Chain A
Amino acid sequence: EPEVTQTPSHQVTQMGQEVILRCVPISNHLYFYWYRQILGQKVEFLVSFYNNEISEKSEIFDDQFSVERPDGSNFTLKIRSTKLEDSAMYFCASSRDRGPAGELFFGEGSRLTVL
């Protein structure tokens, strides 16, 4: 069964450091997303990406965040200068269609701990 894969599963970093979280979406999917879940809180939308550009972003997704699809398979989330409050589980997701007739597939998440 096709799946979204994410690396690393857990990353610990110092405040102020740059972090890149990587995702390999399902191969025939065209829409890509990042969501995050702070411990004990709701899953929150960060950004959606289609046709090599951001299609929508939330107010959480400020200038310290960026996304990129550097090649035909990877989709990355970069946090330029991490803050303590960036500690969360980050989920990558992909879909074949813009929804909702299709299905949104989530990866298992990358846990980011900022010290």
Chain B
Amino acid sequence: QKEVEQDPGPLSVPEGAIVSLNCTYSNSAFQYFMWYRQYSRKGPELLMYTYSSGNKEDGRFTAQVDKSSKYISLFIRDSQPSDSATYLCAMSENSGGSNYKLTFGKGTLLTVNP
């Protein structure tokens, strides 16, 4: 079983829709969970991170973590055409080294149509 699984999509929604993006993982040692956005030909850009089960909200974005099910989600409300990008989930253990040794999902390509 792969460490982090993410449906690659592509996902196409109309402007204003609620988008749900998901990842599952198998490694119980993952403690930190992040969502990155990657525009074409650009580097990943951090959207949100969390380290506890539950919800975290930032504007139109909500990150949800369920450690018991090893499942994380990102919800985008009132989606905009500018949200069109690839969304990557990423996770890390609380190791003695850097917590930025990230394990990424494959990314979901999202298109929001005006």
Residues of chain A touching chain B, judged by Cβ–Cβ distance below 8 Å, are 4, 31, 33, 35, 41-45, 48, 50, 55-56, 58, 91, 93, 95, 98-100, 103-109
Known interface pairs A91-B44, A100-B92; A43-B104 also in contact (CB < 8 Å): yes
Q: Are A95 and B104 in contact (CB under 8 A)?
A: no
Q: Which residues of B contact A44 (CB under 8 A)?
A: 104
Instruction: Jot down 14 A-B pairs with beta carbons below 8 A, ordered by A.
Output: A4-B43, A42-B105, A45-B101, A48-B97, A50-B98, A55-B98, A58-B101, A99-B99, A100-B32, A100-B100, A103-B46, A105-B46, A106-B44, A108-B41
Q: Which residues of B contact A104 (CB under 8 A)?
A: 46, 100, 102
**Residue from B41, B100, B105, B107 whose CB has the most chain A CB atoms within 10 Å:** B100
- Nearest A residue (CB) for B51: A100
Least distance between A91 CB and chain B CB atoms (Å): 5
- The 8 Å CB contact of B92, one of A41, A99, A106, A109, is A99
In the complex the two chains form, what is the Cα distance from A42 to B98 in whole Å?
A: 20
Q: Are A108 and B97 in contact (CB under 8 A)?
A: no
Least distance between B82 CB and chain A CB atoms (Å): 18
B80 proximal to A (CB < 8 A)? no
Q: Which residues of B contact A55 (CB under 8 A)?
A: 97-98
Least distance between B22 CB and chain A CB atoms (Å): 16
- Nearest B residue (CB) for A35: B102
B61 proximal to A (CB < 8 A)? no
Q: Which residues of A contact B46 (CB under 8 A)?
A: 103-105
Q: Are B106 and A42 in contact (CB under 8 A)?
A: yes
Least distance between A109 CB and chain B CB atoms (Å): 6
Q: Which residues of B contact A93 (CB under 8 A)?
A: 43, 100
B45 proximal to A (CB < 8 A)? yes
- The 8 Å CB contact of B100, one of A31, A43, A108, A109, is A31
- Nearest B residue (CB) for A55: B97
**Residue from B95, B102, B105 whose CB has the most chain A CB atoms within 10 Å:** B102
Q: Mark B14-49, 1 if CB is under 8 A from A, else 0.
A: 000000000000000000101000000111111001
- The 8 Å CB contact of B97, one of A41, A43, A56, is A56
Q: Which residues of B contact A35 (CB under 8 A)?
A: 102
